[in-house]
Amino acid sequence: MRIFLLLLHASLVVAPGAALSSEPFPVVVSTWPFVEAVRAAWRVVTAGFSAIDAVVDGCSTCEELRCDGTVGPGGSPDENGETTLDALLMNGSTMEVGAVAAMRFVKDGIKAAKLVMEHTEHTLIVGEMASIFAISMGLHGPSNLSSPESLEKWIRWKRNSCQPNFRKNVIPTNSCGPYYLSDAASTLAKKSLGELGKNFPEYNMLVASKANYIPVGHLYHDTISMAVIDKAGRIAVGTSTNGATFKIPGRVGDGPIAGSSAYADDEVGACGATGDGDIMMRFLPCYQVVESMRRGMEPKLAAADAISRIARKYPNFVGAIFALNKNGVHAGACHGWTFQYSVRTSSMKEVEVFTVEP
Ligand code: GLY
């Protein structure tokens, strides 16, 4: 039975659960009802493969299925209409991390992250150089990551004067640019129109447009963040996302940032996150969760605490976290939206989806 516990904040709810089998491992946990991804990871880990292999297979499945249109190719067009990928893989036994960010032309985000982790001394490779690296290491590409759906969404956005968008303190925000620093643009307008220009409608329009920023809502964010504990008790985490819809080209979200979208340490447990990455990456919430559990906090309190730290500074942020300790006990916490996460343990006949209400 699922118990919902209200904690710390009116819009912050935690759903605790536990692997109750006498054999607590393996365990697979994933953000959202990405059931096929969890099934894929479960098949791999129950066949005796490592937590790393299971996370890669689980996240790859989501990329192939284009889960929610926000994982893998074909979703979240940026301002130029292009889809780019962020992904991360972390080995909780060795603390090795591999990640790619804003990767273009290659659809296998999590496999590229694995190549970074296992075949370089680096942690993060970005942009076109990540694509070149991934292709040179054998991944398929260059490929067009757009889809008819992503292009249609982008065309509708262009027709809507590129609203909403992620620009701020620039003018004009109510068009597709080019954008100027608001002060510089006002000065430019004043200069070209003269002091008398204040009486001209163009000047007034330019200044008024400063107030037209439309915040981008939570519908534009999502991520698969997955944690696996394998039969040997080794823990791995991975994430994959195509980021935020209509992001500014080159934008990197929380997905490839270790400690933000995911974190793992065999000695303690793991964490996965989803939501507004631009805000969440400022708090490293998954690092916070794992370190709180290290100091003795239960997963449900650790998850709630990490979320409430963000909510105190950004009351309107939208995000969620799951926490998983090394014994297989899991919990979720969220703010600003209903969160669901999926779990498979050997005590379950099928993947179970836990709901955390705001
Ligand atoms: N959480 C996904 C992103 O903000 O990119």
Cα of first residue to Cα of last residue in the chain, in angstroms, is 19
Which residue's CA is minimally distant from atom 5 of ligand 1? 243
In a domain, 137, yes or no: no
In a domain, 289, yes or no: yes
Does one domain contain both 188 and 238?
no
Q: At what angle do helices 109-119 and 51-65 cross, to 10 degrees?
A: 150
In a domain, 140, yes or no: no
As a whole number of angstroms, the distance between CA 286 and CA 258 comes to 8
Closest CA to 28 of 53, 51, 49: 51
In a domain, 312, yes or no: yes
What is the per-residue pLDDT across 222-269, written as a single tens digit (0 to 9) for each?
Answer: 899 999 999 999 999 999 999 999 999 999 999 999 999 999 999 999
Catalytic member of 31, 61, 83, 223: 223
- Residue 46 β-bridge partners: none
Query: What's the confidence (pLDDT) of residue 47?
Result: 97
The total number of structural domains that make up the chain:
2
- 243 alpha carbon – ligand 1 mean position (Å): 5
Does one domain contain both 320 and 201?
no
In a domain, 331, yes or no: yes
223 included as an active-site residue? yes
Which atom of ligand 1 is the closest one to the Cα of 277?
4
Handedness of CA 337, 294, 237, 88 (dihedral sign): positive
Q: Which of 254, 257, 284, 310 for mutating ligand 1's site (highest number of atoms within 8 Å of CB)?
A: 254
Does one domain contain both 259 and 201?
no
- 351 alpha carbon – ligand 1 mean position (Å): 25
Which atom of ligand 1 is the closest one to the Cα of 275?
1
Does one domain contain both 254 and 196?
no
In a domain, 92, yes or no: yes
Q: Which of 180, 196, 212 is the last residue of a domain?
A: 212
Q: Which of 145, 178, 212 is the last residue of a domain?
A: 212
Place of tokens 């937590």: 51
As a whole number of angstroms, the distance between CA 133 and CA 140 comes to 11
- 281 alpha carbon – ligand 1 mean position (Å): 9
Does one domain contain both 302 and 208?
no
Does one domain contain both 230 and 269?
yes
As a whole number of angstroms, the distance between CA 326 and CA 267 comes to 7
CATH classification at residue 327: 3.60.20.30
How does DSSP classify residue 74? S
In a domain, 125, yes or no: no
Does one domain contain both 193 and 291?
no
Query: What's the confidence (pLDDT) of residue 71?
Result: 95
- Residue 170 β-bridge partners: 181
Which atom of ligand 1 is the closest one to the Cα of 274?
1
Which atom of ligand 1 is the closest one to the Cα of 244?
5
* Enclosing domain of residue 52: 2-96+217-356
Query: What's the confidence (pLDDT) of residue 24?
Result: 77
Q: Which of 179, 212, 245 is the last residue of a domain?
A: 212
Does one domain contain both 233 and 197?
no
Amino acid at 43: R
* pLDDT < 50: residue spans in the chain: 1-13, 19-21, 193-217
Does one domain contain both 248 and 340?
yes
Does one domain contain both 25 and 68?
yes
- 5 alpha carbon – ligand 1 mean position (Å): 27
Does one domain contain both 199 and 229?
no
Handedness of CA 100, 105, 107, 111 (dihedral sign): negative
Place of tokens 């000047």: 203
Q: From the DSSP assignment, how many helices (H) and strands (E) are in the chain?
A: 10, 16
Other beta carbons within 10 Å of 141: 18
* Residues in Cβ contact with 30 at an 8 Å cutoff, skipping those fewer than 6 apart: 37, 38, 41, 58, 224, 225, 226, 227, 272, 341, 342, 343
Closest CA to 45 of 30, 57, 34: 57
Does one domain contain both 186 and 229?
no
Q: Which of 88, 257, 276 for mutating ligand 1's site (highest number of atoms within 8 Å of CB)?
A: 276
- 53 alpha carbon – ligand 1 mean position (Å): 23
* Residues in Cβ contact with 160 at an 8 Å cutoff, skipping those fewer than 6 apart: none
In a domain, 118, yes or no: no
Contact by Cβ (8 Å): 237, 247: no
- 253 alpha carbon – ligand 1 mean position (Å): 5
What radius of gyration do the chain's Cα atoms show? Answer: 22
Residue 324's alpha-carbon distances to 15, 169, 219, 226, 301, in angstroms, are 12, 40, 26, 10, 11
Q: Which of 84, 219, 223, 239 for mutating ligand 1's site (highest number of atoms within 8 Å of CB)?
A: 223
Contact by Cβ (8 Å): 337, 10: no
Please state the pTM of the whole predicted model: 0.88
Strand 27-31 relative to strand 224-229, pairing: antiparallel
φ and ψ at residue 266, rounded to 5 degrees: -50, -30
Task: Spell out which residues line ligand 1, taking CB within 6 angstroms.
Answer: 221, 223, 241, 243-244, 253-255, 274-277
